[in-house]
Amino acid sequence: MKRILTLLLIIPLLSMTIENDKAKFIGKWIGEDEKEIGYSNFDSEGYAYFEVQGQIMGGKEFVRKGKKGNMTYEINSKTNPIQVNLVVTMLEPKEQKKLLCIANFIDHDTMEFAISFDENRPTEFDSENSLIFKREKQKNE
């Protein structure tokens, strides 16, 4: 009986930790790469998108080459740096690709983010694979 009670207490704590880790990412982030401004956005529903030159890739629904898809994200903050998976799902035909990333919070509103377009997760932040993103403040903040 004690084991069951212990499990009932631990499970909500684990889900709270996962939600708190995800909450660090939620918001619209602005970054600059070779003088080009871009945005990344992580929402509370688990969707993510990138926006460059007005073009949006990802989110709850997007169209690429005439096909619909979406992009979600997964966070593993038990690692250092934090592991982030961006999961791009094309709906027809059903195909999935994971972009393996790492993130490091410099402060609450500044994040270093590295992404790999091959199947290897970056192990460090360098000028080739990473950007610094600043959280864009909402008007009511």
Give all domains of the chain, ordered by start, each with its CATH number.
2-135 (2.40.128.640)
Instruction: Please write the tens of the pLDDT for every residue from 76-91.
Output: 999 999 999 999 999 8
Model confidence at 16, in pLDDT bands (50, 70, 90)?
A: very low
How does DSSP assign the chain, residue by residue? -HHHHHHHHHHHHHHHHHHHHHHHH-EEEEEEETTEEEEEEE-TTSBEEEEETTEEEESS-EEETTEEEEEEEEEETTSSSEEEEEEEEETTTTEEEEEEEEEEEEETTEEEEEEESSSS--SS--TTTEEEEEEPPPTT-
Instruction: Please write the tens of the pLDDT for every residue from 93-128.
Output: 888 999 999 999 999 999 999 988 888 999 999 888
